[in-house]
Amino acid sequence: MANLTLLQAVNDGLKTAMRDDETVLVFGEDVGPKGGVFLATEGLTAEFGEERCFDTPLSEDGIVGTAIGMAMYGLKPVAEIQFQDFIFPAFDQIVSEAAKLRYRSGGQYTAPLVIRTPYGGGIRGGLYHSQSGEAYFCHTPGLKVVIPSTPHDAKGLLIASIQDPDPVLFLEPKALYRTVKGEVPEESYTVDLSTTRKVREGDDVTVFCYGAMVPVCTEAAEHAAEAGISVEVIDLRTLYPLDEESVLEAARKTGRVVTVHEAPRFCGYAAEISAIIAERVIEYMEAPVTRVTGFDTPFPNTLEHNYLPDHRRVLDAIERVHAF
């Protein structure tokens, strides 16, 4: 066991996967000798050489397009997009190509690739280093969207994503890269995709969250406990395909639901959670199915701390649904 930050766990996951499977490649901008702008790929070029961990020209569409090609040909590319905010030139390749290849070719061609990218706010990165675009990609059948919130999950989910036969978008909460530490097994292991994780047991209110919102919700739950409200916190982990049954079970358990994400509210991921609950377990709801989200505005820099849901805002929602 090692005590690693989430970032180190990603690095360890890459190394482990690359050691076990020589078809695994890592590439992207500045991932080679520099080791990535966050150092997620540090040491990979040194250990595995430039054929397996290398830099690319400044071209996201090229990174993903070529990754699809490599994957088609039997390699296991793990492409890095430097910031999720920069992924959009590659949107066409991801949505039109990677996600639809198996379907349109009847399985003749598939794209088992992983795209890793840091997402989310919390580092004063302003409009273009803070976006949470998971909703765009969860709206894409054929694609998988995974977001770890702990070092243990980061390594296990990453290895599982690399082994997965379908294209996976692996979103890493950059705010947690260095601020969250945990025990990580040294050997290779997987955490199954499409499973949720119960962070905290509770009976009065259920909070669904992922990524950097997990510690925020955990803190809010602790404050709520002081006020006598027992809060269950669920880390969704794989946003798509979602473990719907565990979501419904946790929602039904308390009948009071709050879903939290940084991304803007309208058509955000929480809307999907709310819709699923409304369709399947509405009769167990004691209060409006509630969301705490970023505002429907671009992501501001100086006022980032006002934009991001924090424990005050989550606690406020918990109190409201509890009192309804």
Partner 1 sequence: MTIEFMLPDIGEGTAEGEIVQWLVAAGDAVEEHQPVVEVMTDKATVEIPAPAAGVVTQLLAEAGDTVAVGSVIFHLEPAGGAAPTAAPAPAPAAASAPDPGPADDEAVLEFRLPDIGEGTAEGEIVRWIVEEGAEVAEHEAVVEVMTDKATVEIPAPAAGILVKQLAAAGETVAVGSVIFHLAGAGAAAEAAPSPPEAAPVPALSEAAPAPAPAATPRAPGARVLAVPSARRVARELGVDLALVAGSGQNGIIRRADVEAHAAGAPSAAPVAVPTPQTVPTPAAAAPSDSRQRAETRVPFRGMRRKIAEAMVRSKFTAPHFTVVEEVDVTDLVRIRTQAKAIGEMDGVKVTYLPFIMKAVALCLERFPMLNGRLDEATEEIIQCGYADLGIATDTPNGLVVPVIRDVGTKSVMQLAKELGALAERTREGKVSREELAGSTFTITNAGNLGGILATPIINYPDIAILGVHRLRKAPGVVEGPDGDRIEVRQFMNFSLSVDHRLADGADGARMLAYLRTLLENPGLLAL
Partner 2 sequence: MSAYEMLQVMDADGAAGDHDPGLSDAELQYCYRTMLLVRAFDDTAMKLQRSGRVGFSIPNRGIEATQVGAASALRKTDWIFPSYRDFGMPLYHGVALVEMMNNMFGNSLDGSKGRQMAVHFSFKEPIHFLSISSPIGTHIPQGVGVAHAMKMKGEDSVALISFGDGGTSSIGFHSGLNFAGVWKSPAVFLCQNNGYAISMPTEKQTASDGFAVKGEAYGVPGVVVDGNDLLAMRQVTVEAVARARAGDGPTLIEAVTFRMGGHSTSDDPTRYVPKELVEEWEKKDPVPRFEAFLASRGLWKEGDHEAIYAECMSEVKEAADAAQATPGPGLETIFSDVYAEVPDHIRAQGEAAFDLMRRKGDAAGGGGEFPL
Catalytic residues: 129
15 binds, among partner 1, partner 2, none (CB under 5 to 8 A by kind): none
Residue 6 in contact with residue 148, Cβ under 8 Å? yes
Q: Which residues contact 37 (CB under 8 A, 6 or more apart)?
A: 30, 82
73, 103, 266, 324: which one contacts partner 1 (CB under 8 A)?
324
According to DSSP, the β-strands at 2-5 and 181-184 are antiparallel
Across the beta sheet with 231-235, what order do the strands follow? Answer: 197-200, 231-235, 205-209, 257-264, 290-294
Hey, what amino acid is at 289? Answer: V
- 179 interacts with partner 1 by CB under 8 A: yes
Site for partner 2 in 134-163 (CB under 8 A): none
- 288 interacts with partner 1 by CB under 8 A: yes
23, 52, 62, 66: which one contacts partner 2 (CB under 8 A)?
62
96 binds, among partner 2, partner 1, none (CB under 5 to 8 A by kind): none
Nearest residue (CB) to partner 1, 5 versus 259: 5
288 binds, among partner 2, partner 1, none (CB under 5 to 8 A by kind): partner 1
Pair of tokens at residue 7: 């970032």
Pair of tokens at residue 172: 């890493």
Pair of tokens at residue 131: 């976006």
Q: In the block, which residue shows the tokens 């990535």?
A: 36
Cβ at position 152, least distance to partner 2 in Å: 19
198 binds, among partner 2, partner 1, none (CB under 5 to 8 A by kind): none
- Number of residues near partner 2 (by CB under 8 A): 52
Closest CA to 208 of 159, 147, 164: 147
Scanning 47-55, 64-72, 220-228, 281-289 for contacts with partner 1 by CB under 8 A, the matching segment is 281-289
15, 116, 152, 174: which one contacts partner 1 (CB under 8 A)?
174
Concatenating the DSSP letter of every residue in 50-80 gives: TTTEEE--S-HHHHHHHHHHHHHTT-EEEEE
Residue 314 in contact with residue 260, Cβ under 8 Å? yes
Binding site for partner 2 (CB under 8 A): 29-30, 32-34, 37, 55, 57-62, 83, 85-86, 88-89, 122-129, 175, 179, 212, 215-216, 219, 265-266, 295-298, 300-303, 305-308, 310-313, 315-316
